[in-house]
Amino acid sequence: VTAHCTPGGQFSIAVSRDVTLPPIILDSVQLASGRSTDCVPVMKNNVFVVYRFPLSACGTTFQVTGDQAIYENELVASRDVKTGSLGSVTRDSTFRLHVRCSYSTGSFLPLSVQVFTLPPLPAVSQPGPLSLELRVASDGSYTSYYTDSDYPVVKTLRDPVYAEVKVLQRTDPDLVLVLHHCWATPSINPQQQLQWPVLVDGCPYAGDNYQTQLVPLSLASGLLFPSHYQRFTLYTFTFVESTSQEMLSGLVYLHCSASVCHRSVQESCTTTCPARARGKRSAEHPHKDGASHVSSKGPVIFLQDELSWDTAKDGLAVPAAATWVLGFAAVATGASLCVVVVAAVLWRRK
């Protein structure tokens, strides 16, 4: 960000898309108070947007302190909020730029830049002994995973999270782990009213503009029992209060309903999803016969504070971003019982 107070009495402000992480949506940047035709950008491309307007226009405030005449204005960026039937989320950073120009009664004086950065917040994790395990890989190759000593792992909005669910303590190669629904809530309660779907009927939720990606597995993956695993990639987001559109901070829990299928039965153990769903699947996830509802005991902690800069003449702001802190651990108490019961039911159908 650069801000310049011209000798001719104008603000000149340039904002780069890379001022935040993830990059800011330049079309959403606007003056906080100015809405007239004179308060629109004078230049805009895919890299930056430029505003230039008189000190007396576009909602600029004015005050005199001693021998200083001070003019102040603000640029803000709106967020793209995705709304589903059970909740709303956003993946956009919060951006607010405060610009101040100060003139003496007899000469033009430049001001230094003041950048206020946010201190890191503490993270929390809650591991526990469970029969299914949810792990987070460090990258999309799934060759290394975060350990207890690696947490907290900080992620910015829209960053991929490489999740893996696997069956524990089973050696039957014909068992297939099936994920039915996965969703996120801001508490450990899977039935909480505010939630966001990740997988619906085993497929990515079509109402999300950053759809979850399923990761196929085969013998070439190097796993001893690849059918005991399910992998998917989701993208970090922020819960938003549906009425006020305010970002919500706090814990984010991931829940999945899953069952185990046996290859020997007549029914298929494979979920077929369209390449890119065109219609919105229902975001509801009723209890399915034979499925075990499991929750992440280690929460994702969303660290969200509004980003704010006080910038004056010829200023340069430092990028900042809202973050996620991952604290995933083992999941699915009671999943061992689910394996036995489901396998028995499916064998009787043979």
Whole-angstrom Cα distance, residue 341 to residue 322?
44
Chain region(s) in the chain for CATH 2.60.40.4100? 132-306+321-349
Confidence of residue 245 (pLDDT cuts 50, 70, 90): confident
Nearest to 259 by CA among 347, 343, 136, 134: 343
Chain region(s) in the chain for CATH 2.60.40.3210? 2-115
**How confident is the model over 169-203, as pLDDT tens digits?**
888 888 888 888 988 888 778 888 899 999 999 99
**How confident is the model over 332-348, as pLDDT tens digits?**
333 332 222 222 222 32
Q: Which fold has domain 2-115?
A: Immunoglobulin-like (2.60.40)
**Residue 214 and residue 232 in contact, taking contact as beta carbons nearer than 8 Å:** yes
What's residue 24's pLDDT? Answer: 82
Residues 132-306+321-349, CATH architecture: Sandwich (2.60)
pTM strictly above 0.85: no
What's residue 2's pLDDT? Answer: 84
**Residue 255 and residue 182 in contact, taking contact as beta carbons nearer than 8 Å:** yes
**How confident is the model over 92-132, as pLDDT tens digits?**
777 888 888 887 766 655 556 567 776 654 433 333 334 77
More confident residue, 214 or 260: 214
